[in-house]
Amino acid sequence: MDVALSPGLYIVATPIGNLGDITLRAIATLGGVSAIACEDTRVTGKLLNHLGLKKRMIRYDDHADASTRDYLLGLMASEPVALVSDAGTPLISDPGYRLVRSARDAGIPVTSLPGASAVVMAVTLSGLPSDRFLFAGFLPNKAKARADMLAELAAVPTSLVFYETAPRLADALAAIAEVLPGREVAVARELTKKFEECRTGLPADLISHYLAHPPKGEIVLMVGPPAEKQTDPADVDGLLQAALATLKPSQAAAEVARQTGADRRALYARALELK
Ligand code: SAM
């Protein structure tokens, strides 16, 4: 099913393992574009083959020379051009940022077709708090830089999400055990594939497990948020009294709840007693 597409850049998410995870719109768009910019023509060629499509493919990554980017920008000014990566959503730890930025600067229409991305799937599977999370891409390879990055993220009050590879998992878990001790960890592996698994536990448990069962395949590593700080009741009273100097009890309770994470209704009751 080919569709008539207007000129511009179409960012198209592709499966992260299971080829069934491609949207109808992605298939129609890949069928309708004049060319597909991709990381690896062999990988994208296999997907096109599976979809029964034959398309011109142009190799692109963000380190491509300026002439390749200029060529693609020229093409998408008059023709519809897709951008795909080897798997998942382009630009998410994958090439495309510079191309999108240049296309937007040049006034070329850009749209993005949502679909598979390992980060989103892993967060939904993990059982870790998903109301907010910080995706930090890949941890650095070198031990010192890895520990520094984890230390920098230690106080972030959300789940943390990293892309990982099987050979680096043991080192990453050891660094988490050292820099973020006591934090719950989840390892999501081979998502959408035959041996998909999501294992949770403390870093030490996961280290023992993966020592005994060396992991294979692709991995998303997640760390639960830090425990909420328990504020001393005397400190809470102090904060409430300070807030009550300028605010109504309900407002003071809301403000102290924001500062401490304590229950707002309990704070309101205490504010009325203190008033
Ligand atoms: N753009 C892709 C996306 O949207 O998910 C990510 C590309 S990044 C170069 C590759 C990393 O994504 C892998 O090292 C792994 O951390 C994660 N990943 C990709 N596919 C995965 C899968 N099926 N299971 C687990 N992790 C996966």
- How deeply is 1 buried, as exposed, middle or buried, from its count of CB atoms within 10 A (0-12, 13-18, 19+)? exposed
Structure tokens at 95: 């090439």
Best mutation site among 14, 39, 93 for ligand 1 pocket (most ligand atoms within 8 Å of CB)? 93
Domain identity same for 84 and 179: no
In a domain, 79, yes or no: yes
- How deeply is 168 buried, as exposed, middle or buried, from its count of CB atoms within 10 A (0-12, 13-18, 19+)? middle
In a domain, 22, yes or no: yes
**Ligand 1 centre distance from Cα of residue 175 (Å):** 21
Residue-wise burial string across 244-255, b where 16 or more C-beta atoms lie within 10 A, e elsewhere = beebebeebbbb
CATH code of residue 162: 3.30.950.10
Residue whose C-alpha is closest to residue 76's, from 3, 9, 6, 4: 9
Which of 98, 116, 134 terminates a domain? The answer is 116
Sign of the alpha-carbon torsion through 114, 117, 121, 126: negative
Ligand 1 lined by 220 (C-beta under 6 Å): yes
CATH code of residue 24: 3.40.1010.10
Ligand 1 lined by 93 (C-beta under 6 Å): yes
Domain identity same for 108 and 177: no
Ligand 1 lined by 165 (C-beta under 6 Å): yes
User: Which residue is it, tokens 């948020």?
Assistant: 225
Ligand 1 lined by 17 (C-beta under 6 Å): yes
Which of 84, 116, 148 terminates a domain? The answer is 116
Residues of the chain whose pLDDT is less than 50? none
The answer to whether 55 touches 48, Cβ cutoff 8 Å, is yes
**Ligand 1 centre distance from Cα of residue 64 (Å):** 22
In a domain, 2, yes or no: no
The predicted pLDDT at position 236 comes to 83
In a domain, 228, yes or no: no
Beta partners for residue 200, in sequence order: 186
The predicted pLDDT at position 261 comes to 60
Ligand 1 lined by 88 (C-beta under 6 Å): yes
User: Which residue is it, tokens 């190799």?
Assistant: 59
Helix (H, G, I), strand (E, B) or coil at 252: helix
- How deeply is 147 buried, as exposed, middle or buried, from its count of CB atoms within 10 A (0-12, 13-18, 19+)? middle
**Ligand 1 centre distance from Cα of residue 19 (Å):** 14
**Within 10 Å of residue 73's Cβ, how many Cβ atoms?**
17
The answer to whether 162 touches 220, Cβ cutoff 8 Å, is yes
Residues spanned by the domain of 161: 119-223
Domain identity same for 123 and 111: no
Which of 185, 200, 223 terminates a domain? The answer is 223
Best mutation site among 126, 219, 221, 222 for ligand 1 pocket (most ligand atoms within 8 Å of CB)? 219
The predicted pLDDT at position 208 comes to 96
d(CA 37, CA 234): 61
The predicted pLDDT at position 133 comes to 98
Indicate the number of domains in the chain.
3
In a domain, 245, yes or no: yes
In a domain, 134, yes or no: yes
Domain identity same for 70 and 144: no
d(CA 123, CA 187): 10
Domain identity same for 111 and 127: no
In a domain, 125, yes or no: yes
Domain identity same for 27 and 94: yes
